[in-house]
Structure 1
Amino acid sequence: MTTPSIRLDNVLDHLLDAVCLVDAEGRFVFISAACQSIFGYAPAELVGTRMIDLVHPDDRARTLEAAAAIMRGVPNPHFENRYVRKDGRVVPIMWSARWSEEDGVRIAVARDITALKRAESVRTALLAISEAAHVAADLHELFRDIHSIIETLLPARNFFVALLDDARDTLSFPYFVDEHDSAPQPIKLDSGSLSARVIRSGTALLLTADGNGTICANGEFGAGTPSLDWLGVPLIARGDTLGALVVQNYSGDARYTDADKQLLQFVSTQIAAAIERKQTETRLRHIAQHDALTHLPNRKLFDDRLQAALDHARRAHSCLAVLYIDLDHFKQVNDSLGHAAGDRLLHEVARRISGCVRESDTVGRMGGDEFVVLLTGIKQAAHALLVAEKIRAGLQRPFALDAQNVSTMASIGVATYPEHADAGHALLRVADQAMYRAKKLGGNRCWMALAELAE
């Protein structure tokens, strides 16, 4: 049997890895055909050029060190570095190389490990997302962590999350990072926006501009800076669409591809699960810390906020006040109109009290028809009495319940730190005693605690 004559270079040209010969000066003297798919250059373009010129600038120093070690006779079967392709893209390479003293060349085999690196990055990202779902304090912190994780996978300088409110058919943007525009106001699901399109269809959307054109991505919010690329994926957990995750580019330095879309789709399932978990935790925490009827802080949460406010007041040498509010003759409303009407009245009372104070203050429900207010950063005790009077007057205005006007009045006791007490439970007790003093005097009035009550 005759052995066929086979040219070695023809065999090498059929390998998926690139086989290279590099002389002592670091120039290519031979490279197989696979170099074109890996580096973007034809073999004829690379022969005679310096190998180091193709290496990513940040990897050149250690590449030269590795090459010197190989020329000293130390083989390196697993050396990784990055090369810059002809089209400007960066490609990670795994090298296996050794020095042939007889031929005076380095013999090296180059393998493109882009897919391997991406798979490793995705595994790491999925683990990081799962961890973030457990350790993030709230949704905003979770979104911030997810943003950082996504940036390890693809360019995500401009990144936002759109969440769907099923009850109102609206989209909100609780996390929005953009180099040109600020977060938009909530929009309707039927607005025709790109985010809404992704959510309604349940499918990913990649829009890229041709040539020097742009797509009006931020135009979905009515105004904004047009971008070159817009990539959005739905966030779906257990069959329900929670919202969308979006990245976009304004410059041609990094463009999105179908591979990026598939990657973002892949990790979006884990992201959606993390968001759903955090939303559930938030709802449960709200239920545990708030009154079910009025949605005001309950006694436990109010006590926590009062303690935190006292700690701050001590450090800052500032004042705070507690108002204890009890509705006068509330039982008559329940007896004459029923408990359902009484519940609606309590709900409206809570809204009216909240409308009389600042966002930085806290309104809580102690139970029944008793409410409390924490006023922080007040200048003097008289200011707390003014707020109490504003609340009393506000509650005196009739409430519209079941097509009839219902009138109510309130007795309000006021206690301040540091005048009346320096502990939370003591402040509440003194304010409660002051409230009962207001009731004994006929109700529908405010009463500032006296020094003897605090003793």
Structure 2
Amino acid sequence: LFSVSISATPLVIDGQAKGEIGIYIDITERKQNEKLQQVLYNLSKAANSPISLNQLYKTIHQELGNIIDTTNFYIALVDENKDELYFPYYIDEKDEKMPILKFSITNTLTTYVIRTGKSLLNNNEQYEEMINQGILTPMGSTTDESTWLGVPLKIEGKIMGAMAVQSYTNPNLFREEDIKLMEFVSSQIATVIERKNSEEKIKHLSFHDSLTGLYNRAYFEEELENQK
């Protein structure tokens, strides 16, 4: 399916209407660009709202669903200090959740994208070949019809993680155009995640004692104010 603009002009010969001349213009790309701009606007708006980081992840998932199939979607982030790869948001038809992984010894499609800094569109045949070559170790569910698309999340050239979509039933669901689409929104998504994450860290520090880690006076004053 594609979007078209239709216009018609009467065909008049010798003063008599003989028919119409119709013009059909494919405006699919224009409509897609309009959707994309709306998604970017909504993400920026969400980042500047008082919603939590977890709520932001849900918003990202919802907004991306307007421009690409996000039935199976996740965000993976790297904690360099702990050498961990964790999945703060993970929606999948087959796997309920992914455990926290030791990044330095993990070789998955996700870590491949993060280490290379390059996007990857991979079907099951290519996935099996990468396993046979020793590039990857098997992890997570797959089928003969699987396809996976992942892009790195970067801020000022530094890779903070990756996000991915996948299908277990349609090997042709994603195309090269979808790589460009995901790459285009990935920088905005990385920025809003980093901003919201920083906000929550600052809020945590302001409400907790630096030595004990327990709630401080500011927290209880805030709670009392909210209950008025």
1:224 is aligned to: 141
1:315 is aligned to: none
| Whole-angstrom distance in 2 between the partners of 1:204 and 1:295 | 39
**Please, which of 219, 222, 227 is the counterpart of residue 301 of structure 1?**
219
1:137-166 Cα shifts (integer Å, max 9, x gaps)? 211101100111101111111110001101
| Whole-angstrom distance in 1 between the partners of 2:182 and 2:19 | 43
1:97 is aligned to: 8
| Whole-angstrom distance in 2 between the partners of 1:98 and 1:241 | 54
Q: Is the 1:160–1:173 Cα contact (8 Å) retained in structure 2?
A: yes
Within the alignment, does 1:154 sit opposite 2:72 as a pair? no
Cα distance change of structure 1 residues 297 and 171 upon mapping to structure 2, 3 Å threshold: same
Report the AA paired with residue 284 of structure 1: I
CA shift at 1:223, angstroms? 3.6
CA shift at 1:136, angstroms? 4.9
Cα distance change of structure 1 residues 234 and 223 upon mapping to structure 2, 3 Å threshold: closer
| Whole-angstrom distance in 2 between the partners of 1:206 and 1:290 | 44
Report the AA paired with residue 153 of structure 1: I
Greater Rg by CA: 1
1:39 is aligned to: none
Within the alignment, does 1:175 sit opposite 2:93 as a pair? no
1:188 is aligned to: 102
Within the alignment, does 1:125 sit opposite 2:36 as a pair? no
1:252-306 Cα shifts (integer Å, max 9, x gaps)? 2961011000011011111111011001101110110111122222122245568
Report the AA paired with residue 98 of structure 1: T
Within the alignment, does 1:237 sit opposite 2:155 as a pair? yes
SS at match of 1:91: coil
TM-score relative to the length of structure 1: 0.44
| Whole-angstrom distance in 2 between the partners of 1:285 and 1:231 | 34
TM-score relative to the length of structure 2: 0.85
1:53-85 Cα shifts (integer Å, max 9, x gaps)? xxxxxxxxxxxxxxxxxxxxxxxxxxxxxxxxx
Unaligned runs of 5+ in 2: 129-135
1:388-427 correspondence runs (5 A): none
The count of residues paired between Structure 1 and Structure 2 equals 216
Q: Is the 2:95–2:140 Cα contact (8 Å) retained in structure 1?
A: no
SS at match of 1:266: helix
1:197 is aligned to: 112
1:164 is aligned to: 78
SS at match of 2:10: strand
Q: Is the 2:84–2:102 Cα contact (8 Å) retained in structure 1?
A: yes
Within the alignment, does 1:284 sit opposite 2:216 as a pair? no
CA shift at 1:104, angstroms? 4.0
SS at match of 1:154: coil
Unaligned runs of 5+ in 1: 1-89, 312-455
CA shift at 1:206, angstroms? 0.9
| Whole-angstrom distance in 1 between the partners of 2:123 and 2:201 | 38
Report the AA paired with residue 130 of structure 1: S
CA shift at 1:239, angstroms? 2.4
Within the alignment, does 1:141 sit opposite 2:52 as a pair? no
| Whole-angstrom distance in 2 between the partners of 1:284 and 1:195 | 29
| Whole-angstrom distance in 2 between the partners of 1:208 and 1:99 | 51
1:274 is aligned to: 192
Report the AA paired with residue 299 of structure 1: R
Q: Is the 2:75–2:164 Cα contact (8 Å) retained in structure 1?
A: yes
| Whole-angstrom distance in 2 between the partners of 1:155 and 1:199 | 22
Q: CA RMSD in A?
A: 2.6
Report the AA paired with residue 206 of structure 2: A
Identity of aligned residues (%): 34
Q: Is the 2:147–2:171 Cα contact (8 Å) retained in structure 1?
A: no
Cα distance change of structure 1 residues 248 and 202 upon mapping to structure 2, 3 Å threshold: same
Q: Is the 1:193–1:221 Cα contact (8 Å) retained in structure 2?
A: yes
1:415-438 Cα shifts (integer Å, max 9, x gaps)? xxxxxxxxxxxxxxxxxxxxxxxx
1:215-237 Cα shifts (integer Å, max 9, x gaps)? 57xx9673424362111111111
**Please, which of 227, 243, 263 is the counterpart of residue 181 of structure 2?**
263
| Whole-angstrom distance in 1 between the partners of 2:137 and 2:39 | 30
